[in-house]
Chains A and B, each alone.
Chain A
């Protein structure tokens, strides 16, 4: 084998190693999970930032009449609160709180504070008059 071939072979091996390395244990674990799979978004990585947020969004979606816009008040600590709200509730429109929307889902609020509210897991759904 010529020196150039040997260098090329070594370089290819190093390149392959550096491509495979990022997979890591987590990647192999994730791939092994693919053998059984899980259809639930609630248990998935998408809601790993806040496990309670998914059930809250699904409950708000079920509580409000189909098609009516909902304003979602959630922490601003992560943009995922906004993205998950829009994606999970789609095709329902997620409105700004200033939009005078009839339904406001407030995440993190305790029990129904007023008559015009429904309790949700992790929050409440307020109904504007």
Chain B
């Protein structure tokens, strides 16, 4: 456990040094979240470089490499853009702020305890993420068998490798595959997600808004529970929150720093799960239609920052590993000749989702609808369309499943939809914070209007 904690701390420290170049103007909670994301990408990246170069990276080599990156980052000039924000004003509803932060902390503690209670055991951990990570760690390379062995066809060779490589890199740091210690990653993701949402909203809306979003994320046990530890949905939710915050920032302030953040998180999301790639694509579509008081031509740079890293990652992965002999989805269902069959499957999925998933979440959905109706609009609402589109697509692809539409919906829809909730919490926090703040909005960084101010 100690070695894994040290590995996470070392990665975050390196991430902090590197992210200084593009997080100027962000408050400490948000910077901590960016440091964590950046550090994990660097840690897994250095480990991957090590195994590709056959240098069998252990703790010393990893620490040395991270030390070099850290020194180089400290020597580099800090990036501009964003400016330093004024300290946020004391919220009128300070009680809401305190209560929400206490709730978030309680949720974080509960999840942390349940996450590390025992070695990771979830089906997807055993069959996909943990299996690949363990195989990579012990082999000291990325075994071809993960992609070629017909006995492992169910382990989804087409899934991205960031999470398995991250597991393997943390195990390499500890010189031991300890699947209980590796579970520490999940409470860390949980806390980092809350920090990202809190920091973003405290900067762009109000501290109350940030605290409400953090509390909603902290107490969202349909996602943050032991049954999801070891899977990719919790890391993805963290990536989606950072990507959403960078997306909202770039719409208002297309500086180099914000674009770097956008590129970093779009890579993080695409390398974690295929839904991350989809979300980046949907944000790009939203960006194309979103009005923005901007100089012409610069939007293309935003799109490049958003789409190039995931596109490059996907192309590299397919060129290196993807054998295309196993797929979850039968795309021939999209051909006109099979439309009648497809429509039957769509109805099957819709029926299943309405009678089970929606029914189970009815109370939460009514509460969300009430919040959306009784709170003022906010620029964070720009996330509503891509979020809704992602939900519809995730539900829709169940109809294409080779395992049967209802089986796929039952196996994955609830979990995949739950991973989107932290992004929804940003929207709900931005709106709720405004109504509880009583109209006052604090001064923000130059070029970054507060969410309330543009209403």
**Which of B121, B152, B367, B436 is in CB contact (< 8 Å) with A86?**
B152
Q: Are B215 and A44 in contact (CB under 8 A)?
A: no
Chain B interface (Cβ < 8 Å from any Cβ of A):
103, 110-119, 121, 123, 125-127, 130-131, 134-135, 138-139, 143, 145, 149-152, 154-155, 178-180, 212, 215-216, 219-222, 225-226, 361, 363-364, 366-368, 370-371, 374-375, 428, 432, 435-436
**A83 proximity list for chain B (CB < 8 A):** 123, 126-127, 131, 154
Q: Are B113 and A35 in contact (CB under 8 A)?
A: yes
Q: Are A87 and B134 in contact (CB under 8 A)?
A: yes
Question: Measured between alpha carbons, how far is A22 from B215 in the docked complex, in Å?
Answer: 16
**Which of B131, B180, B371 is in CB contact (< 8 Å) with A12?**
B371
Instruction: Give me the 6 closest cross-chain CB pairs, A-B, nearest first.
Output: A46-B121, A34-B113, A91-B138, A34-B117, A15-B367, A31-B113
Question: Measured between alpha carbons, how far is A22 from B367 in the docked complex, in Å?
Answer: 16
A63 at the interface (CB under 8 A from B): no
Q: Are B123 and A7 in contact (CB under 8 A)?
A: no
Question: Measured between alpha carbons, how far is A83 from B124 in the docked complex, in Å?
Answer: 9
Q: A91-B139, A93-B149 are in contact. Are A31 and B130 (CB under 8 A)?
A: no
Question: Measured between alpha carbons, how far is A118 from B135 in the docked complex, in Å?
Answer: 27
Q: Are A12 and B121 in contact (CB under 8 A)?
A: no
Give 28 pairs: A residue, B residue, CB < 8 Å, sorted on A.
A4-B435, A5-B435, A5-B436, A8-B370, A8-B436, A10-B370, A14-B363, A15-B428, A19-B222, A23-B221, A28-B110, A32-B113, A33-B113, A34-B112, A37-B117, A38-B117, A38-B118, A38-B180, A40-B119, A41-B119, A41-B179, A45-B226, A80-B123, A80-B126, A83-B154, A86-B152, A87-B131, A96-B151
Q: How far is the CB of B354 from chain A (nearest CB, A)?
A: 18
Q: Are A8 and B113 in contact (CB under 8 A)?
A: no
Please report which residues of chain A, range 35-51, place their CB below 8 angstroms from some CB of chain B when the two chains form the complex: 35, 37-41, 43-46
Q: How far is the CB of A29 from chain B (nearest CB, A)?
A: 9
Q: Are A15 and B216 in contact (CB under 8 A)?
A: yes
Question: Measured between alpha carbons, how far is A37 from B179 in the docked complex, in Å?
Answer: 13
Q: Are B180 and A4 in contact (CB under 8 A)?
A: no
Q: A12-B432, A93-B149 are in contact. Are A44 and B121 (CB under 8 A)?
A: yes
Q: How far is the CB of A56 from chain B (nearest CB, A)?
A: 16
* Secondary structure dominating the interface of A: helix
Q: Are B219 and A16 in contact (CB under 8 A)?
A: yes
Highest count of chain B CB atoms <10 Å: which of A14, A27, A34, A40: A34
**Which of A34, A80, A93 is in CB contact (< 8 Å) with B114?**
A34
Q: Are A12 and B113 in contact (CB under 8 A)?
A: no
**A21 proximity list for chain B (CB < 8 A):** 221
Q: A27-B114, A46-B121, A91-B139 are in contact. Are A4 and B375 (CB under 8 A)?
A: yes
**A82 proximity list for chain B (CB < 8 A):** 154
**B121 proximity list for chain A (CB < 8 A):** 41, 44-46
Q: Are B116 and A15 in contact (CB under 8 A)?
A: no
Q: Are A19 and B221 in contact (CB under 8 A)?
A: yes
Q: How far is the CB of B280 from chain A (nearest CB, A)?
A: 27
Identity of the chain A residue whose Cβ is nearest the Cβ of B130 in the assembled complex? A87
Question: Measured between alpha carbons, how far is A86 from B367 in the docked complex, in Å?
Answer: 43
Identity of the chain B residue whose Cβ is nearest the Cβ of A87 in the assembled complex? B126
A18 at the interface (CB under 8 A from B): yes
Identity of the chain B residue whose Cβ is nearest the Cβ of A2 in the assembled complex? B435
Q: Are B221 and A20 in contact (CB under 8 A)?
A: yes
Highest count of chain A CB atoms <10 Å: which of B103, B125, B126, B127: B126
**B113 proximity list for chain A (CB < 8 A):** 30-35
**A84 proximity list for chain B (CB < 8 A):** 126
Question: Measured between alpha carbons, how far is A94 from B151 in the docked complex, in Å?
Answer: 8
**Which of B114, B135, B150, B361 is in CB contact (< 8 Å) with A30?**
B114
Question: Measured between alpha carbons, how far is A115 from B138 in the docked complex, in Å?
Answer: 33
Q: How far is the CB of B3 from chain A (nearest CB, A)?
A: 14
Q: Are B367 and A45 in contact (CB under 8 A)?
A: no
Question: Measured between alpha carbons, how far is A34 from B225 in the docked complex, in Å?
Answer: 13
Please report which residues of chain A, range 72-113, place their CB below 8 angstroms from some CB of chain B when the two chains form the complex: 79-80, 82-84, 86-87, 90-91, 93-96
Question: Measured between alpha carbons, how far is A86 from B152 in the docked complex, in Å?
Answer: 9
Identity of the chain A residue whose Cβ is nearest the Cβ of B119 in the assembled complex? A41
